[in-house]
Amino acid sequence: MNDRMLVHKVYHRLSLLSLTPHTLPFKPVQFPSALSPASIRTRPLNGTVRSLRTTAVMATSRLRNLVPVNAVASEDGSGGASNGSVSSTAAITALEDEEDSTLGVRYRLPPQEIKDIVDAPPLPALSFSPHRDKILFLKRRSLPPLAELARPEEKLAGVRIDGKCNTRTRMSFYTGIGIHQLLPDGTLGPEIEVHGFPDGAKINFVTWSPDGRHLAFSIRFDEEESTSSKLKVWVAQVETGIARPLLKSDEIFLNAVFDNFVWVNDSSLLVCTIPLSRGDPPKKPWVPFGPKIQSNEQKSIIQVRTFQDLLKDEYDEDLFDYYATTQLVLVSLDGTVKEIGPPAVYTSMDPSPDHKYLLISSIHRPYSFIVPCGRFPKKVDLWTADGKFIRELCDLPLAEDIPIATNSVRRGMRSINWRAEKPSTLYWVETQDEGDAKVDVSPRDIIYTQPPEPLEGEGPTILHKLDLRYGGISWSDDSLALVYESWYKTRRTRTWVISPGSNDVSPRILFDRSSEDVYSDPGSPMLRRTPAGTYVLAKVKKENEEGTYVLLNGNGATPEGNIPFLDLFDINTGNKERIWKSDKEKYYETVVALMSDEKEGDLPIDHLKILTSKESKTENTQYYILSWPEKKAFQITNFPHPYPQLASLQKEMVKYQRKDGVQLTATLYLPPGYDSSRDGPLPCLVWSYPGEFKSKEAAGQVRGSPNEFAGIGPTSALLWLARRHALLFSFLTMFAILSGPTIPIIGEGDDEANDRYVEQLVASAEAAVEEVVRRGVAHPNKIAVGGHSYGAFMTANLLAHAPHLFSCGIARSGAYNRTLTPFGFQNEDRTLWEATSTYVKMSPFMSANKIKKPILLIHGEEDSNPGTLTMQSDRFFNALKGHGALCRLVILPYESHGYASRESIMHVLWETDRWLQKYCVSHTSTVNVDPDASKDDSGTVSTDSESKAIAASGGSGPEVSNTGHEGFDSLPRSLLW
């Protein structure tokens, strides 16, 4: 950085510094006359630089007693947390070398107030026992270090495998298990900690035995803590918490690439293990056996989406077999082991409700180089519980040719399952349209049922025929089951009432509606757990009344927001009685589960007991047990507020209208203590994700509740509600956050939504910006837009086609060139050749020359999401740079589509904060008001085109490329079952 640039940077930062508390109107601090603009311009440069450095150091020492000084320096390589303070020398060094220090040399930390929220310990996950008398608190840790993501992984057939553990890579885990008795008065007994395993164990796959007396789980260790990091199966007694290894042999390890283990009965488990005969992994040949050849001499029509991590050659096929091949073993609680079946690539194990049979699925060769393993040849067999082969149910061929149209499926038997209300009866579905959603045929799907060992010559029985695509069954008994079907193209969804045990009772439609019409949603039937561990419809009986009643649990969408409810619904008459609903004035309450489901038969209404969650704008979620007939609620959790510094944030659900008349909604968040009349308009961050609809009416319906607690994830836009402190050499102001403004892309009738994507996108954004400006909470020239994945795609398009609305943009893990996803994307099921103009017009890559506002691109280097290849951001950045756009590209090593490691997430937050402070908070140019302003060929206002390219430097942190203006104003819930 040259001396002249340094002079202007230092002066500008000092001139922006404010010591005024955030509750008072902003007034610039008056600095000595020696720092006036005139004196800086007339003094000799070398002397000025020297005196400014001295003055800055003095200012630093004074300010340390008045305002918090947050670190912008990186953590050291160990990954330990910085205390957030820096010396005056370090601060001045960072000031002088700002641009060089931000070019990926190291990972960086966001401001302390953001870092504190992200580093807060997470709340535990919950799991209830089969008899609903005990509850597990599954303890979790905060963000993992990057070193865990950096472990070697094999990318095979759409699966990423950790060869050291023989599991999927990047598995989260629990650090401990606490057991509490649920007492009759609704309170929790003292915690019994599961113990007996070494410190530092990573716990996964926690499951209850059917009788609720034992827990099974896996344990693994980091390599430096143990001779092996492979998984072992452990069991624990629930009454005492004492844990021990299930298997006596130290040579038997869990293979968790696909399935892991399942309780066959109260005292034994079926476990996927690494074959004892397995040797070393195959070695990749130095010289290939031959060229890689794919052929379509049969002229088959094979259209596939942009899948990633596919097999590439014969070596990959062998490696996939090596890690995925499993030996099934039956293990008793006393440690007795019995191998069953031959080694194979088993993908699922499902015991029958009466524990007599096993439904075993596996995949086999020939494999494919163009589709993931879910489409490989699939075999489903029926075994006895002790491993004796009975019969083959199906052997499906390789499915490379499933059409890309939504609702297309694989040919042959699918969704093979056990009927939940029977001891051991199978059911499955078969398509009648060759799996192609574009084929018009009736029926489209047929549901079959059959005993596990049918008599000779006895074929399957047709249970029901469907004209839409099968969507599942809720079983009750021979007299009642509910069958679901739907069709995406029309958004139609139907629920059928059938009598599985009676051929003379005709099926009838219970509900026939649009899936988009949330106001008419009747709710979903609640299920109860049977003694066999399956789930069936919870039928309720009323004293001295006839009728077949079920419980419908609904979101209760209304124009005022969601008001969840529980209805007692008569299947025969359609009459319903609302027996519970949420308090709409202050709280948002939902029904989570049925707690009085441990007994068979119809449940008396006066014995009803449910688990509910309750939250408000400022109170985080707590769980309650609600019992009838008194409907008295007992609070069973008392989780602390996860971020008390934002306990008094302001939240409002706002409604406004698009110019075409579509009603839109968004959630507006304002910082604690903010007053628009006193503090004036704020910089604003708009964070969203578009959605597709078939009607304006459905698009305009309100979704969500104004009373929901503001959950803040580690990369949430809501973190900037905490950004309200003055830092060294820059006044960093509060932010308004417009979260999730609805951006409906509507295609009514035969129209395709994406054909008017850009027009509707811009109209929705204009309406959102106009609303926050009208309310006086957002400064019209300080509004940023951002999004992740399809939201990043949205962000780039808005900067290309509506630059008058936003000062800058932040786009994470997006796809920007739709010609690179030629066989469909998102919900678009036309190919590039069928809708060429739509693909081109929707691609912000094709409009890179129109993007004149600063855009920050962030992408994981190992993105596995179909369509959002890391190459998308690379090529988009180069296109932007080729047109002199102000842009920055950050590639996060080892990260996938979402970001996981603490180092990466902290750096993403630092990058985002830097971008917002530099190009949103400090943005002062006036846009869309000067009739003489220069415009580009799209008619939108352009900013100054001066730019400066800065080459990326290597280092231990994210790979960063940067180019753009370097002017003088630069500123640096889970519930488990």
Catalytic residues: 789, 863, 897
Rounded-to-integer distance, Cα 451 and Cα 357, Å: 11
Pair 718, 739: CB distance under 8 Å: yes
Rounded-to-integer distance, Cα 838 and Cα 816, Å: 13
Rounded-to-integer distance, Cα 526 and Cα 673, Å: 42
Rounded-to-integer distance, Cα 829 and Cα 692, Å: 13
Rounded-to-integer distance, Cα 336 and Cα 567, Å: 49
Rounded-to-integer distance, Cα 265 and Cα 529, Å: 16
Rounded-to-integer distance, Cα 321 and Cα 343, Å: 10
What letter does residue 29 receive in the DSSP assignment? P
939: left (phi over 0), alpha (psi -120 to 50) or beta: left
Q: At a CB cut-off of 8 Å and minimum separation 6, what does 135 contact?
A: 126, 127, 128, 129, 179, 180, 182, 188, 636
CA 133 remoteness from chain centre: 31
Pair 195, 173: CB distance under 8 Å: no
Among residues 926, 930, 913, 910, the alpha carbon closest in space to that of 73 is found at 910
Q: At a CB cut-off of 8 Å and minimum separation 6, what does 76 contact?
A: none
**Secondary structure of 401-415 in the HEC alphabet?**
CCCCCCCCCCCCEEE
Rounded-to-integer distance, Cα 472 and Cα 536, Å: 13
Rounded-to-integer distance, Cα 910 and Cα 912, Å: 5
| CA-to-CA separations, 497 to 448, 501, 502, 736, 955, in angstroms, rounded | 16, 12, 12, 49, 63
Quote the tokens at residue 139.
């303890």
Rounded-to-integer distance, Cα 158 and Cα 555, Å: 35
Pair 486, 477: CB distance under 8 Å: no
Residues in the chain: 977
Quote the tokens at residue 623.
């769980």
Instruction: Match 């920050």 to its residue by tokens.
Output: 856
Number of neighbouring beta carbons within 10 Å of residue 136: 22
Among residues 408, 410, 342, 330, the alpha carbon closest in space to that of 381 is found at 342
Rounded-to-integer distance, Cα 551 and Cα 538, Å: 7
Q: What angle do CA 264, 266, 271 make, to 5 degrees?
A: 35
Helices (H) and strands (E) in the chain, counts: 15, 53
Rounded-to-integer distance, Cα 750 and Cα 617, Å: 41
189: left (phi over 0), alpha (psi -120 to 50) or beta: beta
Element at 579 (helix H, strand E):
strand 576-581
Rounded-to-integer distance, Cα 426 and Cα 91, Å: 69
Among residues 588, 640, 646, the alpha carbon closest in space to that of 616 is found at 588
List % helix, strand, coil for the chain (3-state, nearest 5).
Answer: 20, 30, 50
